[in-house]
Chain A
Amino acid sequence: MSINRVLIYSLLGFVALIYLLPLVVMLITSLKDLDEIRTGTLLSLPQSLNFDAWGKAWGTACTGVSCEGLKGYFWNSVLIVVPAVVISTILGALNGYVLTKWKFKGSDLFFGMLLIGTMIPFQVILLPMARTLGFLGLSGTTSGLIMVHVIYGLAFTTLFFRNYYISIPNELVNAARIDGAGFWLIFWRIIIPVSIPIIVVSVIWQFTQIWNDFLFGVVYSSGDSQPITVALNNLVNTSTGIKEYNVDMAAAIIAALPTLLVYVVAGKYFVKGLTAGAVKG
């Protein structure tokens, strides 16, 4: 191996170690007991593997008057994330299709409008959105929360699909049209089959955003339909009580597991999907 190669490997490895540090700290801490945490340093290894904190975070830690850990909230998050991701991805794909293959007067302007929309700070919309949800009778419901996530995810999914579809030759679409294919048939037969990479990108992005969301979740859900981030926050925060850092860390990792898994498993496709087109806009 040449010196250059050694340098490259050690540099990449060093950066990787730094990137891993926060996760390692969390993992180590979750396996220690409270005394070890008080006396040891951040990276001192636990004396014995102790999974009590994990069990507690999952099953018995308090997140309000109920002390049943995170397990129930995990399912809540799934119920919110799945429909929201599916709907926003479908709408984004349709929008992207229209904005590239069925352009109309003002479609570029419309796209620009949506892009600016991605920059709106979410804190601004909290109160008017609450009013709207109340008006629609969706206040404090899972449906309402799903709706909010779809609305504010649309700009991103549209952006992804538009930038991807722009690289599909229009000739393909034109030829199909001459053969008599209509709007939906072209979408279904020509566009969708080549869309897998960008669907993966959109799903990963939306899944991460919505799973990790706290602000909308805390404001627009109520009681036992709260998502896991809200439960995590309740578990970790205490105004005047003891902090059990090992349980906190275990809970944090549990809450992060699905998104971590998605990145580990689908990370390859994420980069592929980006390669396939999202970067050409």
Chain B
Amino acid sequence: MKISKLFLSISLALGLTAGAQAAEIEVLHYWTSGGEAKSVAELKKMLEAKGHDWKDFAVAGGGGESAMTVLKTRVVSGNPPAAAQIKGPSIQEWGDEGVLANLSAVAKAEGWDDLLPSVVADVMKYDGKYVAVPVNVHRVNWMWVNPEVFEKADANVPTTWKEFFVAADKIKAAGMTAVAHGGQPWQDATMFESVVLGTAGAEFYKQAFVVLDPEALNSPTMIDALKTFHKIKNYTDPGSPGRDWNLATAMVINGEAGMQFMGDWAKGEFTAAGKVPGKDYICTAAPGTANDFTFNIDSFVMFNLEDKEQRKGQNDLASTVLSVPFQEVFNLNKGSIPARLNMSMDKFDDCAKLSAKDFVKTAEANTLVPSMAHGMSTFSSTQGAIYDTVTEFYNSDSITAEEAAAKLVKAVAAAKY
């Protein structure tokens, strides 16, 4: 190990110190810019008030893809961070590896089971024990509308897919882009899941994207949904492939386009442009999904650490994340709604209030479904397989909906083992 010593001595000579200090809480996250970064900074402040050191470990890019790569190498090196931003069924995958910390004690002391809706709580548990703590709830099945464009085109805001195409035709005829879309796999999938939900309903959606039932995936219902999905492409502009979602949102803001299918984080763009909900823009559920809710929950997962101080820090971090002040400030910034129940929504805007109301309502009606596009319904391998098929079908004009449905079954099966 001559070489390692050499490097060690060189680095010491340069005045660098190696290794982590005790009682430092290292948090891996991918919220690195703008309002998100500020929200995380709030969390840091609150944690430091409890006497811990926050060691920031920020890795942005690709909706957390880079962060996951880094996380894996850190776990393999035997040096995991205290907490990491992981969500959905991936939590179960990490649980299977046996590297997660048990938060039962703090969860019991604070009564998380009563604070959290059971849908949310289930995601946070591995083997019946809390291993993660939720930050927020995003609603994905939103449609963002520029009312001015609709007025100019003499169209009505659609509530069904049939109405949607009528309105889209009118906007197109009026010389504007009907749908602002960013052609990236996750955005294609975001739009697709809203189409499936809107045309086939929550029950079918769950059968297809949660149960992964081959019969549902390759059913006439799915083929119809695929056809509707592909038809939307005719109403997007030629510059859409590869476009970032926020640029698509800007098209709606500027009045270049009539609507966009995107989760509630799009609201931040409208707010930043000085637009007011209900007046300058309308947030409404995607056609046919007014009584449904696709959720996307961000959460922090805690890793198993030896150090006692650090474990205390993890517990304090978890309880801070669920605390009312943090939930409020974070979600006001991010456009989402708090993950914990019975919080005052006074400071939130109308879109968030509607979202919070629908969240409770759909949970009771059993039409609250996990977002496939955002990794809430399947493992990442299956999610990726669905992405591949959906995006290939959307971008190609030579694949039929029937072929795509058959491919979907094949791809999902191949990703399973």
Contacts and interface: CB of A to CB of B under 8 A. Distances in A.
A contacts B: CB pair < 8 Å: yes
Interface of A: 38, 61-67, 79, 83, 87, 126-127, 129-131, 133-144, 146-147, 218-220, 222-225, 230, 233-244
Interface stretch (B63-71, B228-236, B338-346, B375-383): B63-71
A138 B72 contact: no
A234 B40 CA distance: 14
A66 to B, nearest CB: 7
B59 A142 contact: no
- Among A130, A225, A235, A239, chain B packs the most CB atoms within 10 A around the CB of A239
Contact of B73 (A66, A79, A220, A234): A220
Nearest to A248: B33
Given A143-B8, A238-B60, A64 B77 contact: no
A146 to B, nearest CB: 6
A227 to B, nearest CB: 12
A235 B58 CA distance: 10
Contacts of B244: 243
A95 to B, nearest CB: 15
Given A235-B33, A243-B244, A38 B250 contact: yes
Interface of B: 1, 3-4, 7-8, 10-11, 14, 16, 18-20, 26, 29-38, 40-41, 44, 54-64, 66, 69-70, 72-74, 76-79, 244, 246-247, 250, 254, 263, 265, 268-269, 272, 334-335
Nearest to A126: B73
A241 B33 contact: yes
A240 B37 contact: no
B66 A233 contact: yes
Contact of A79 (B16, B265, B272): B16
Contacts of B56: 64-66, 223-224
A140 B79 contact: yes
A66 B54 CA distance: 11
Contact of B36 (A129, A236, A241): A241
B177 to A, nearest CB: 16
A239 B36 contact: yes
A143 B31 CA distance: 27
B16 A134 contact: no
A136 B55 contact: no
Contacts of A243: 244, 246-247
A234 B79 contact: no
Given A63-B32, A65-B56, A129-B73, 7 more contacts: A142-B11, A146-B10, A222-B57, A225-B16, A234-B33, A237-B32, A239-B30
A239 B7 contact: no
Contacts of B77: 130-131, 133-134, 139-140
A219 B18 contact: no
Contacts of A127: 72-73, 76
A126 B69 contact: yes
Contacts of B55: 222-223
Chain A CB within 10 Å, residue with most, of B4, B30, B35, B268: B4
Contacts of A220: 73
Given A79-B14, A241-B36, A138 B7 contact: yes
A74 B190 CA distance: 38
A240 B334 contact: yes
B73 A230 contact: no
